[in-house]
Structures are given as C-alpha cells and as structure tokens.
Structure 1
Amino acid sequence: MATASKQYEELTVESAVALARTHYPFPEGAALECDEIGDGNLNYVFRVADPESGKSVILKQALPYAKVVGESWPLTLQRAQIEADALRKHGEFVPNLVPTVYATDAVLALTVMEDLSHLTIAREGLIAGKAYPQLSTDIGEYLARTLFQTSDFALHPFEKKELAAAFSNPELCKITEDLIFTDPFFDNETNDFEPELKEAVEALWANKALQLEAAKLKFSFLTEAEALLHGDLHTGSIFASDSETKVIDPEFAYYGPIGFDVGLFLANLIFQSLTRNGDQRNVVNSHIERTWETFEARFTDLWKNKGIEAFQQTDGYREFIIEKIFRDALGFAGCELIRRTIGLAHVKDLDGIEDDSRRIELKEQALHLGEKLILQRAEVKSIYEVTALIGEAE
C-alpha cells in the first residue's frame, strides 16, 4: 500500500513540541513547555523550552493567508523557505546579527531557529525609551555587508543572477508594491486613517508632483535588482539589547534597490524621533545619523577591499553609487512614512499615542516629512539635513 504524502497543516502546541524534539537537541525525555508567541500578520511562532536545561528553540510557520485580513487574502507558503534562505545567506556575512537556522520543512512551511526571547523587539524598547547604544552601528554594519556582498560589486555575474532567480518573491513583492508605493497615493479602500487627517490626505492624493515621484520610486523597486534585500527592515523586525542586535523576518527578501532596506529602517527611526523631544529626540537622531555613517564607511571599505567591479578604481564611481543609494533611501523612507501613517499597516510608535490631538499632530508631521523626503530627495545632501528636517516638521 502506498504511503500518503505529507501535507501542510497548521501547527498546534502538541505538534510543535514533537517537531522541536526532532529538530533540536533537547535532553531525552525532557518535559517541554510550548507557547504560541507570534504577534505578526503572516505567521505562527512557537517557543518550545526545557525549563530544567534552559534550552529553547523557535518554530516559525508561514500561514497560507494574512492573519490581518483572513483567508480572503491568500499567500504563498514558499515565503518560509525564502526567509530561511535569506537568513542563511545574510548569515554568511553577519553571523552575529541574524538568528541561526537549525532546520526547515518546506511542506510545513516551517523554520526552526535560534530563540531570541532574551532580547526585546526594538520598536517596543524604543517606545519605552530604551537607548540601545549598539543598534545603529549594528544595523549600519548589517546593511553594508549584506547588500554589498550580494551585489554585482562583489559577485560574479553568474552567481548574482542565480541568487536573484532563487529569491524571486513575486507575491510578497506585490504586497510591497501595493501597500507602500501605490495605495497610499490614491483613494484606495485599503487605506486606514482618522477622519481628522482627511484634509491632509486628500491634499496628498491631489499632489501630482508627489504621485510622479512615487511612481519613479515604484519603478526602481520593480526593476533595479541591485542586491539581496531584507525587504521589510523596520524596528519590529529587529531584536535588541544594550549589547546585542539580531535582524529577523526577511520573508519579503528579494533582489531590489539597495536604498530600499536603508530607507525603511531610517523611516522607522524617524517615527520614533517625531514622538520625542529634547535630549530624547537627540538620542534617536544620533541613531539615524550613525546608521548612515556606519553604512557609508563600511560600504566604502568593502568597495576598496572586496570589490571586483572593473570600474572599482574609476574616480567618482563609488561616490556616484553611494549618492544614488542615499537619494533612493530618502525617497523610500518618505514612502514608508506615508504608508505607515495612512495605509493598511500602521506603527505603534504613532498609533499607541492615547492623546488624540497629539497623535493627529504627529501623523500630520509624518505625512509632511514623507512628502518632503520624496520630493526633495535629490536636494538633501547629508544625513544631518535629514535630522534637521525632523525638527522642522513641528
């Protein structure tokens, strides 16, 4: 009799424990405890632990639909393998900045990985006022190493194009194309904002110059396969402490413009900066500046020491590339500021503000700053001008 082939099924606490025993070296006979700890929109996340030995592991399973909407929004399960492969590829360059992947199961859309629950989600910590002194240096390092090392500047063209094909991720890219680059700039039913923002939002929709620049940025996202992106690098995709940083959740990974990852991270720091005043704002602004400073310095070092491009030594070429990345990053940051304010998926940095008038005021600032970064991205020449614009948004 033929054996029935294994099929996808959603994990339960019981099945998660059984799989954890299979894929992680828990002591034989250990009394394992399991909790479902996921708070995202696309996955189940189980933590399985042995209290006696202190060992623990994370099991992450992709769902065939978006939890935020339901089964009416189907999603590919292939994203789980893309996420695991991206963690492994990026781990080749920054093993200290991503979780270790222990095992995968393509049929179950399952990844078994290092437990990072001793750390805090960076967004939550920043909202609580934590400084995270290593955050911007670590993320600048992560961005420079993962993006440079997966680009044509470091890889043989055959290897780079093979990777670009392997990380084709059309379904999740379509989510980005719609939710970041399209829907917020039109009167689309996916948008979500308070009635008090209606006047500002309608002015944004009527801004034809802004729509044109958003279209250009979307075209860049669609067509420029520069490096292997994380694809969704916000402060909710980072675990951190005062001495450790780990980037998680690269299920949106694909080959795209280098400035996209940079811009999304900067935008999410900008949200936090807008909510602060005085020295507290300076702390976050220092992170914004240091992220770019670290990225530029490390990218330059890699260019000089690891680059294989024939024009590597051509005067002005490196400067041209870095300027393009910076300009792109500002535009993408602007799109992120707008979409997280009036689009489908918001950020707790703003939505968590209980004072209605203060929340609306900050959201209007985010919209205006987003417009400015998109429209003036070719005129802003330094990261210090960016942090100055945050103060001007008030």
Structure 2
Amino acid sequence: MTKERAYFEYLGLKEEGCLSPEYVPEVYHFDRTMSLIGMRYLEPPHIILRKESTARIEYPLLAEHMADFMAKTLFFTSLLFRTTSEHKRDVAEYCGNVELCRLTKQVVFSDPYKFSQYNHWTSPYLDRDAEAVREDNLLKLEVAELKSKFCERAHALIHGDLHTGSVMVTRESTQVIDPEFAFYGPMGFDIGAFLEI
C-alpha cells in the first residue's frame, strides 16, 4: 500500500470528526510529506471492539452510537444534504484513493470466489464449502453486480473498512478509527460491513 493512504485517513477523520465529533478522535496535526497524523489518544479502558466481540462482552450503547455515527456521516455527505457542487468536489478529492479501493475490490469482491493465495480456511473440514463457493456461478453473478455498485455509486463518504477492528469502545464511549479506505461509495457498504459482525 502507498503512503498516500495516510492522507485519505486524515481526510476521513477530519470529515467524520466534523459530523460526529463524539465518535471520532480529534485530529491535531497532519504532515502529508511524512504521512504523520497527530490525534487524540484514546485512553484506557478503550479497547478494540474485535477483542471484546470475540469475548462476547456487550456494550449497551454501541448500537445507538454506531447508528448515530453512520446516519450523520452518510446523510450529511450525500446529495440528500449537500449541493451538487460540494458533492462532486469531494467525490473528485477521494477518487485519488485508488489503491485501497482496488484492495477492497480484491479482498471483498474477487478473491473469496476463486483460488487465491490469500484465501484460508480450516482444511479439510471446510474444503467442500470453499469449493462450493468457487463453483457457484449464480453467486459470482450476484457478487459481480455488488462489485459494480461499489465501483460506480458515489452516494456518500464511506469509511470503507468499518468492522470491529476499526472501532474502539468503553461502556460509555464508541470511537471510530482507521478510515484510510474512505471514499465516496454506496451507503450500504458501511452499513452492511458493520452489521455483518
């Protein structure tokens, strides 16, 4: 991955932070040449949600916080709220995040449905299931349609990698981090990625 991803992470943090400051750590400084982001430290007991999810620890405010975060960031960066000029300007800015969009297309919409060095499963127990996915042409057609939507629909600014590893939590706080995959894409991508967990 290129070091330019830090620039898009910075842009994403700044925009999401303006729209949902209660859910995004404040950015204090960015140096594009050095790919350096200075931001608020998320003090303990903040912990990556993935660790807590696998331990089956519940966070009573998580759903409300994430719904609020997504509603604000998706609505206020879309044409439902912004002017056409503002929207096109921002779409153009984020079009530069080519490398990470390419990576998402590969990891989400291509590799799982074919033989790839990056695919791993519990063999031999899931060998038949992996083969069934690779041979399911109807599934591949559906995924190709979703890939087309991912590439072509610039609904709103999306995080682009919104999963349990990109959220830090306490019982009272939810913080969304790591938007280096941010770009203007289909609103449903972030929503679906987070709900998948």
Give the TM-score, by structure 2 length: 0.96
* Contiguous gaps of at least 5 residues in structure 2: none
In 1, Cα distance between equivalents of 2:111 and 2:55: 31
* Contiguous gaps of at least 5 residues in structure 1: 1-74, 269-394
Q: CA deviation at 1:130?
A: 1.7
For 1:1-394, what aligned pairs fall within 5 Å after superposition? 75-118=1-44, 119-168=46-95, 169-195=97-123, 196-268=125-197
- Per the alignment, in what secondary structure is the counterpart of residue 92 of structure 1? helix
Q: CA deviation at 1:233?
A: 0.3
> Quick check: 255-264 or 180-189, which moved more?
180-189
Count, aligned residues? 194
Q: CA deviation at 1:129?
A: 2.7
Deviations 1:76-116 (A, max 9, x none): 11110111111111111110000000001111111010101
Q: CA deviation at 1:117?
A: 3.2
Task: Look at both structures and tell me which one has the larger radius of gyration over its CA atoms.
Answer: 1
Query: What percent identity do the matched residue pairs reach?
Result: 40
Deviations 1:163-189 (A, max 9, x none): 011112110000000010001011222
| Structure with the larger RCO, 1 or 2 (CA within 8 Å, 6+ apart) | 2
Which consecutive aligned stretches of 4+ in structure 1 deviate over 4 angstroms post-superposition?
A: none
Deviations 1:215-236 (A, max 9, x none): 0000000100110000000011
In 2, Cα distance between equivalents of 1:111 and 1:230: 17
Give the RMSD, CA atoms, in angstroms: 0.9
Q: Which residue of 2 aligns with 1:36?
A: none
In 2, Cα distance between equivalents of 1:128 and 1:184: 26
In 2, Cα distance between equivalents of 1:194 and 1:129: 22
In 1, Cα distance between equivalents of 2:147 and 2:56: 34
- Per the alignment, in what secondary structure is the counterpart of residue 205 of structure 1? helix
In 1, Cα distance between equivalents of 2:129 and 2:43: 40
